[in-house]
Each structure stands twice: as structure tokens, then as C-alpha cells.
Structure 1
């Protein structure tokens, strides 16, 4: 009996290896990136010829290598569909209802994972109306199951689903509102691959090689039972690696809350992660847009340091952009309910930079420089404020000022008369000010916007 089972096991192994196989995300209802050479890959019997034919008239072939893997690049047309794709190897697989459009990979922790329907006792503002009116075959999502692994995986199970009243509630709210804005403006299909895990650290999304120069927790030899989402490399292996090479337009990232306690390392970690993802994807410096963590009172350290690291990353890494959330934070809730605003602000970056739409603002004011005035005050200049600044009628708040003694005092602030995009700050007790800070505490409320209503990030002019 044991001998029979052993032979059956070998037979089944050979049988499965000799079949044409695809990762779960190459399936019915998927969306492929338009006007590019879209990568499609899988497994089959070594040395087998695999042919991929698309109903839009393009095809490609590959020979399966000794490890049983094959990969092709399939030229895609401009946005449209539906189409079908036939993959013929040891057997034939037909993918139906395939659309061509724009693909964005969306990752991070709980604020990216939080669905349109909200979490228990944690609402998404406007979710019910959003779900009710969400039926749109041109918006499709692939949600990645939560999986952990010590070694890089090649597959992710799941299903592509079109937006409708029964499916949209389970999509990432941030990603859905981003996709909805893009689709409504561009009028073409938009596909979202969501791969996020609440409370995950940035280190968990980075490969082992990228982490070598950082003093992080050691890579485990056994799969951790508790908190795999906070263990270096684990989610990279299981929830990122399977997708590397899937032809995308760009990445959306919403993460940072779990790294507040090592905020001083975050800029270097974040920049390294962005660069490593781009290197591994082999698509050049694709767009990488992210959300600045919102003000929140909890935590042991000043979260403004993490927000600062995110701002510096945007200012130093090319083809990046940051959606500022200084005006939507909730003092006692780490998951802001205004996810539609977040998704829209991410979409502004993409629509301006990647789809070349003009005539609208896509960034809030960004601190540029300070200079002393003749009466012992400091004047702050901002970019992305060509038409000026506003507080929408409320007093300017959140400013502190210090002299060379590094002692900060609450500062008064006004918009500089006759100068667009500038603010004057002072405190009578600081005769020779050298530094100013704005909103540089864990919990703060926004008071600076550009005329188009986008808020400025918290910032400081010192590095004390």
C-alpha cells in the first residue's frame, strides 16, 4: 500500500509539472497595461514550446527552461476590450474578458488595506453612496490574500473582480477612489493589484539584500507565528515577489505608522525600497506615489519625524509624489475616514505627471526657504503656491520659532502682504530667530493651504 501511494505521488507530481500553469493573477477579467510589451509567464514541461495569442492580433512564443519556467512579452494595443488570450503549451488555457488599460500596484499597511465599507466601528465617509454607485466594468481589482513565507514565492491566488455593489465594499478604499478618479477622467479601464497587510513595517516589504546596510532585526530561520507582517523580508517574499515583472503603470504606497519609532531611518529605508522595487521590476523609474501619515496623538515618539522623512523622500527621489493628509487626521483614530480625499490626491499626481493633464493643482504647498526681515521676524517661502496661500478664514496656527538657543516658542503668523506664497512668523521674546517649525507634533491641525485647497506638509527649518 505504501509503495502504491509513493508511485501515485510521483505520477501526480509529473502530471502537474507537465501541465501549462499560470499564476493566479493571469486569469479571466484581468487588465493588462496598454501600449506596452506586457509580461506573461508561467510553468510547463521543460523544453516545451508555449505560444500566447491575443484576439487583438498579437502573439509571442517561448521555450520552457530547465526549471520549468517560461515568460513572454505580449504587445498590447491602446485601452479597450474585452479580448481573450490563448496560451498553448502542454495544454491550452484561454483567458476571457481581458481588458487593456492602466495597472497600478497598491501596497502598504492598514490604511491601504482598509476597505471601502470601512472596518468595525471605523467608518469611511461616503462609503454607502460610493458602493451604491460603484458598478463599473472598467474598474477591476485583484486582492492579494495574506500569506507569509521565508522564501520568495512565484504565485498569488485570487480573482480579478469588477466594481459593483457586491464587490466594491471589499476593495481598498484609498485605491478604489484613486481608480475611480482616473477612470472617470481618462475614460479607460483601470486595474488595481492590492497587496497590503495592516501594521506591517517597511522592512517586511524589502528583500534581504536591500536590508543588509541597515541595522534591522535578523531575517528569521523559521516562519514567525506572531507578527510576520513586522518581520523583515517576509511580506516581500510572499506578497510582493510574485508580482515583480507584472507590467504596471506605477505604484501607490500608504505606510509609515508602524515605523514611527525608527523614523530617523525611514527616509533611507524608503528610498532604498523604492529603488530596489524599480530595479527588480525592470521598468525604469516608474511613478511611485505615496500618502503622508496623518496627524494622530498616539505613539511614544513624535510622528512629525516620520512625516518629515516622507517629505524628504519625495524631494529627493525622482518621479515620486506625496498626498498630504494634514487636514484629515483624527486625534484618537489612526485610520482617517476621509479616504476619498486621499485617493483623489494620489490621482492628481498621476493625472498631472503621467497623463499630462494641465490646469489644476496636484501638490500642496511645500516649504522652500526662510529669510530674516528687518524687524526680527522670519519670512517663509513655499513652492506649489503660485496663486498664493489661504487658511480659509481661520487663524494661522501650529507655528513655533526659536533663536540660536534652540528654545522654541509658539509663534504668531500672518500671510505676507503683497507677496504670494509667503508667511511671516514671529514671537516678541525671540529677538533673533533662526528656525521655524510648522505642525511639528504628532497631533496637529492644518492651517496652510494653497488656493486650490491642498494642504502643506508639516516641516521644520532646523535639524536639531
Structure 2
């Protein structure tokens, strides 16, 4: 259990490193990017001189006023091993050995990127075959921070790939790297910096978000939190309650005050647990918000001074008020919350504690344990609050509460600060990005966010042409039964558009590799195969017909026929299990209908009576669409939405 105000992870700013030393990303067994300028960097006391050696080449440098130093060495060819040495005067203070020069890839995103090799299809076999000296692995531990960190989480280091080091490493990252190493016969370094459930915003730097001009409120609140957490929490609570009051169903009563005129219902036995287990039909499988309320009585002496409130574990997000004053807001599960209460919030007599819990997946609510539910008072006494709870369901159409920017995986910049900033300055061959599930609910903003992230990381890793492979979300969830169903089709389209606008961003189409019943399909081998195909074309310049498979080129209407042309088709365009191409929709002003077509001379021809208006053509939409258009190499035509032109 961690005591905090508003966030339950380490939020300390970057502490001054013990001078002199290399940055923490430089360890034994690492891989540096071949055929690119090699910058070595680290810290020392301001103004102190150090000498840095790469094998027999040595350079001297003085640390700046901020204690940082860096030196550049000539590019290395693939191979090794090399040695990096740091000296202060004549004394060797650090020596890094078994350094290889090869291709370095950063793999990031949420749970499908984090999914470990041991849990992939044929995981035991894949792990047993992971002993490859020419592959080196760096797994960045989960860490968030309110300011950019200079050092990796404690204990993080590069390792030679072996069954014991690869088992918990990202399956997609490892399998992609393994194939690229075998194909190009150079050392490969893989960095796994991923966190299940994370949105894209936490992976983008505060500087980049501010420069985009689209997130000023969040950036300003983040900066306030850095300087004055209580003031930031109060402002966030004001914004949160403003969001609540903006709904049509708001009737002037404020649940965060514990308003007794609301229809509070007792929890089973007046105790707390996962709300889906209460036997209440309207809460079975419910994903959304539920208010939780409890009261406790204090004497005038007990109500004097500051206090702390322990509410146990919450899943996923809580915002907590005591007597109408916000005392905490946290995202995450599997740990308890303890919130500090300033003097003056408690009062003699009845006090009301209210917790709004938002759950987006699986079980949810306040789940104890009971011994962690108590109020600790300034006089040293403790008041239990394990019993007497009531609840109030929030309408299912309320939407998602606005996340606080300091939430580790749902806020802004926190994961960049803790997991990406310590890597900045390295050179990379490419980036693998597999994320989007947590942003699917507001996918319209994703194209811009992904574009900002790519630009941000290119700056961080000093390569304006850095290759990025974006793995498009596979099918999962409801089978669409009506045309016009949005679902995950919206975020897949955002990914497609972001990739189409950037020659060095490639789309890995995985629509056919998902499982409607499993958010984490274990078959990562084909995802890796397709990622290799895209990265070969982007980063290695390998001539490839359709790295992403068949892609929409244009859709034109002439009379009662729509002609759909594709590019990037290897061999022939063909339909599977039918001579008809299904999954197409024509739309007009947002109203859609299903249509089908036939493959004729490499194009799809769709019949549509000329009196039916259409301004958009869609393909393979919804959460788990069934689509049957492939090329001869077995690659699917990817989902798309395009304007329908008249010819």
C-alpha cells in the first residue's frame, strides 16, 4: 500500500546521478546502432572532466552546469564485441563490455505488445529456442514519473537472449527481432517498453503535447501538479464535477457530497467487493461507474487536525471525496489507496466518504480487503469503515470520466517520463508500436496523437526518418450485424491514415489474426511475420510488393457500378470461401448499407443502383468484421474508409 495524493506510483523528479557515470542504458551486453553516429552520454559533477573510450578511441569532455556530458564517436560496422570505458583522471570508474554493434528496435504499446513469449502459441518451444547470442534484450520495468527521468528503473540492464531472459519478454518484439537477425545476419538489440492498459497519451512527452496545442488543459494541470499537488487535485475535481454536471440527466444533486436524497442502495451485508458478484442484475458485467458511500461519526476531539483515509483497492479508477472535498484520484488496480486529509476537512458528528469508481474491463469496484478500510486520526486512533456502504449506479451512457493527467497509464506523459526519457539519445533502427485498445472509445483523436508520438520519438532518438511499424488492431469483440457499426473500425482507420501520410510509417494489418472472444490472441508469430515484412521495406529498403498487403488506391462510381482499385497486391486479388467480396458498405451522410462485389481484372466491382446516393465506401468495419479479400500471398486487404468519387 502506497501513501499518496492522487496517484499511487513513484513520482519523484529526476535525482542527480552519482557522478561520474555513464547513463543507465549503457550496460554490459548491450547493442548500439550500427552505421550511425554513436553518442555516449552520462553525468558528472558540473564542470568535472571525464574521458570516454570506445575500444582504443578516447575523447575528453567536461560536464555542463546541469551535470550532463556527451561525446560522439564514428559509426561502427556490425559486429563486436566492443568495450566502453569511463575514466575520471587516471581512475577507471566504469567499464562496459561485450557491446555489439547491430540494429536496435524499440517495442512499445499496451498489453498485446507486452504479452510475453512464454504465453504465446507454442510458448514453451519458442522460449526453449531463445538462446541466441546475437540477440540482446532490455526489458524496461513499468515506471511512471511526473518529470522526465534520466535513469532507467533500478535493476534494468541488457541481457544476452536466453530462455530465462526471453520468457517474459514481449513475444511480438522478440519474434520480430529473431527473424530480422536471422535474415540480415547482424546483432539485434530489442528494447521492450510496454504497459498493458495504457493509452497513447502517457507515451508522448509533455513538450510534444504542449506543442500540438490540443492538450493545453491537461499540460497545465500536469505542471500545476508538479508544483502543488493539492491545488492540482482541487482543480481536477472541479473539472470532473463540471463534466458530471454537463449531462442531460444531472438533476442538481451532487453524489460526491453524499446527498442522502439520492437512491443509495445497501451493498450486500453493507460490505465491499467486486460489484459484479453482488447478485444485482443491473451490475452483472457492467462496465462504467458506480458511486460508493459510507458515513462515520467523530467526536470534536477526533475531528481536530489532519488525517488519512485508506479505502483499500479500487478497480480501475477512483475519485474520492470526504465531506465534499476531493482527497484523491488514482488509476490502477491491485494496490490499496491511502489519501491524506488536510486539517479542517473532518468535522464533529457525521462525516461522509464518497468514492466514484470507474471500471472499463473485467471486475470492478472497491474490493478491500476489510482490514485496509479505515480512517487514521491525528490523535493516533483509527475508525474502521469496512461496513455500512451503499452504492449508486451511474447511467451507462455517461461516457468515460476525464482522466487526471498524472494517472500512470491513462493520463499524460507519465510513461514517457519513466520509460522512454531514460532511453533518449540512443539511435534506433526502428520502432514497433502495438497499442490502441485503450483509445478506441475516442478514436477520432488518435490519428493526430499517433502523428505527434512519431514526431516526438524521432526527435528523442535523433532520427527524422526513423522507421515506425504500427500494428493495426486485430478483430475482437462483437460481430457487426448492421452496416454503419463503428466499433474498432474508427481507430483502425485512424492508424491507416497516419501511416498513409508518412512514408516511413508502415501499417501491419492484423485484422484476420484476432479472436472475437480473446483480447490477447496468443498467436503472435504471424503478427511478427507481417511486422518483419513492413520493417524490411521501411528500415532495410528491401523491394517488397505491398509490405502491408492490398491497400485501397481509389474508389470511383460510374452510374450503377463502383470500381475499387487496390495497390500492393502480390499476385492476384482473390476472395476466400466465396466468389463474392463481402464486408463493403456504402454510406451517405453517415447512413450505411452493406454491399458486395466481384473481383474483375484485379479490381472489385460493386453494383449500386444509380438512384441510391453514396458519398463514402467502407470495408471491414466494426469490432470483429468478417472480410474475405486477400492477395495470393495470404495477406488481407486492410480495413478502410474513403470518399467515393464520381467518374
- TM (normalized to structure 2)? 0.64
Deviation of the 1:87 alpha carbon: 1.4
Correspondence list, 1:225-236, <5 A: 225-227=330-332, 228-236=408-416
Structure 1 residues 52 and 394: CA distance shift in structure 2, 3 A: farther
In structure 2, distance between residues paired with 1:58 and 1:106: 31
The RMSD of aligned alpha carbons is 2.5
2:279 equivalent to 1:99? no
Alignment partner, residue 353 of structure 1: 538
Bigger share in strand: 2
1:327-357 deviation line (CA, Å, top 9, x unaligned): 1111022212221111221111221232233
Aligned to 1:110: 111
**Separation in 1 of the partners of 2:545 and 2:557?**
32
Aligned to 2:192: 194
State the alpha-carbon separation in 1 of the partners of residues 599 and 170 from structure 2.
38
Instruction: Assess, with a 3 A threshold, how the Cα gap between structure 1 residues 405 and 73 changes in structure 2: closer, same or farther.
Output: closer
Q: Find the partner of 2:140 among 138, 144, 156.
A: 144
Match in the other structure for 1:8: none
Question: Does structure 1 retain, via aligned residues, the 8 Å contact 2:30–2:98?
Answer: yes
- How far off is 1:373 after superposition? 4.4
Once the two structures are superposed, residues 122-157 of structure 1 have per-residue CA deviations (whole angstroms, 9 ceiling, x without a partner) of xx2232221122210111110001111111100104
The corresponding residue for 1:170 is 168
User: Distance in 1 between the 2:544 and 2:209 partners?
Assistant: 41
Aligned ranges 1:32-43 → 2 under 5 Å: 32-43=32-43
Residue of structure 1 in register with 2:632 after alignment: 451
**Which range moves more in the overlay, 190-199 or 426-435?**
426-435
How far is 1:201 from its partner? 0.8
Matches of 1:359 and 1:301 in 2, distance apart? 32
| Cα distance between partner residues in 2 of 1:278 and 1:225 | 31
Alignment length, in residue pairs?
A: 438
1:424 equivalenced with 2:605 (yes/no): yes
* Partner-residue secondary structure (3-state), 2:82: strand
Matched, 1:296 2:296: no
Look up the SS of the partner of 1:327 in the other structure: helix
- Pick one of 426, 436, 454 that aligns with 2:617: 436
Task: Give the secondary structure class of the aligned counterpart of 1:311.
Answer: helix
Work out the CA distance in 2 between the residues paired with 1:399 and 1:298.
15
C-alpha spacing 1:379/1:346, structure 2 compared with 1 (3 Å): same
**How far did residue 281 of structure 1 move?**
2.9
Pairs within 5 Å for 1:52-451:
52-55=52-55, 57-89=56-88, 91-92=91-92, 93-118=94-119, 124-157=120-153, 158-212=156-210, 213-215=213-215, 217=218, 218-219=221-222, 221=225, 222=229, 225-227=330-332, 228-297=408-477, 302-358=487-543, 361-373=546-558, 376-385=560-569, 387-396=571-580, 398-402=582-586, 404=588, 407-416=591-600, 419-420=601-602, 422-426=603-607, 431=612, 433-451=614-632
* Structure with the greater alpha carbon radius of gyration: 2
| Mapped contact 2:589–2:615 kept (Cα < 8 A) | no
Which residue number in structure 2 is paired with residue 12 of structure 1? none
- Runs of 5+ unmatched residues, structure 2: 1-15, 234-328, 333-407, 480-484
More deviation in 346-355 or 209-218?
A: 209-218
Give TM-score, length-normalised by structure 1.
Answer: 0.88
Q: Deviations over 1:241-284 (max 9, x none)?
A: 11111121221111111101111111111111211222333322
